Amino acid sequence: MKILLIALSGAGDVLMATPLLHELRRNYPKAKIDVLVQQGQITEDILKHNPDTNKVILFNFLKQGTPRSLLFCYNLRKEKYDLSITLYPQARYHYTGISFLIGAKKRIGFHYQSQPLNLNSLFYHNVLYEDLNKHVVENNLKILEALNILQKRKPKLHLHLKKINENFATKFLKKNKIKKPVVIHAGSGTMKNFTSKRWPLSRFAELAKKLVFKQKAQVILAGGPDEALLKQTLIHQSGLIPGKQIFDLDTNINNTAAIMKKSKLVISNDTVIAHLAAAVGTHVIALFGPTEATHTGPFTEKATLLSKRPSAIKPYQHGAKRITHAQAQTMKLISVQDVLDEAKKILN
């Protein structure tokens, strides 16, 4: 049996699909299970050591344009997949079209509340309906029901680190004499206007300073190459000593996860870093404004979800064109003291 998982949304969404991936492997141990991703090296790295996958296929439809994308789908169609699953959440009709063009014998996908018409029923053999009252992980696990698979185990995120990642973390902490590491991620995705999911940088800087002086912690800043300036600005605003009190972690996502695994706490916006913390079992404080914390938050019991969005302001929905101004402003409702109070409970 040949199975293709279409996972074209963000790296955090891909990580939240790993419980489903694990169950598929458990029920189809001899199947060839490939995963199609487009969100760059980070997404590929999250899956490349996962034994539940046979192959990770990276193709950026957004950058390659229509002619190359059509040719890619035509070539992938030659694989003759028995089953394709367009994972949740992927609310663009384009993703439905990609599934159709690849042409698996059986195609499963979702209909979204933000979609005015259920056109997906024309292209999928089995259409599931999103439930915004359930977590992203739980929405994906509904696919098991469509395949008549009974889930017997409690779901959890799966991230497979190598010894080289563990060694990197050990050496990094030892070299820099870090005894009480706290990882902070002040960035976010940049597609659409997802920078609106960021807590104000000045507050991250103030928080970092208080963690160092009041909690005797050392702050490690996570983030990709495109967030280098963001991290340097945070360091400057904090007034902390680089390389002694605060550290710019410039490495790949799996090394970052290994550092997080050895850390006391992770503090992050609604990003893949929060989900990585859940995967490695480190307590995480996740900051939410536009998005619904109980729907997209870290899938772990070791998560503190901070959100002050008033009930009158509805959360961002998958498939919406943009985060609204009112939704974006809700990040400012979280104070430094709010986060510090929760951090104290964990660090003490």
Residues 91-111 have pLDDT tens digits of 888 899 999 999 999 999 999
| Cβ partners under 8 Å of residue 300, min gap 6 | 156, 157, 277, 278, 281, 284
Cβ neighbours of 2 (radius 10 Å):
17
Q: Is the pLDDT of residue 313 over 80?
A: yes
pLDDT for position 82 = 98
Mean pLDDT of 308-333: 92
35: which strand partners? 5, 56
Burial string for 293-311 (b: 16+ CB within 10 Å, else e) reads: bebbbbbbeebbbbbebee
**Contact 197/271 with Cβ under 8 angstroms?**
yes
pLDDT surpassing 80 at residue 114: yes
- Please report the pLDDT score of residue 11 as a whole number: 93
Domain boundaries, the chain: 2-146, 166-347
Residue 317: predicted pLDDT: 87
Check: CB of residue 237 under 8 Å from CB of residue 201.
yes
Q: Are 123 and 106 in contact (CB under 8 A)?
A: no
- Give me the mean pLDDT over the 220-233 stretch: 96
pLDDT-derived band at 322, boundaries 50, 70, 90: confident
The pLDDT confidence band at residue 143, using thresholds 50, 70 and 90, is: very high
Confidence of residue 153 (pLDDT cuts 50, 70, 90): confident
One DSSP character per residue, 295-341 reads: HHS-SSSSEEEEE---TTSPPP-TT-SS--HHHHHGGGGS-HHHHHH
* Third-level CATH fold of 2-146: Rossmann fold (3.40.50)
Mean pLDDT of the chain: 95
| pLDDT for residue 216 is more than 80 | yes
Same fold, 2-146 and 166-347: yes
More confident residue, 113 or 253: 253
Note the pLDDT tens digit of each residue in 256-281.
999 999 999 999 999 999 999 999 99
Residue 120 confidence (pLDDT): 84
Percent of the chain having pLDDT more than 70? 100
CATH of 166-347, picked from 3.40.50.2000, 1.25.40.10, 3.20.20.70, 3.40.109.10, is 3.40.50.2000
Q: What is the pLDDT of residues 231-253, one digit of tens each?
A: 999 999 999 999 999 999 999 99
Read off the tokens for 279.
């995967």
- Give the model's pLDDT for residue 117: 73
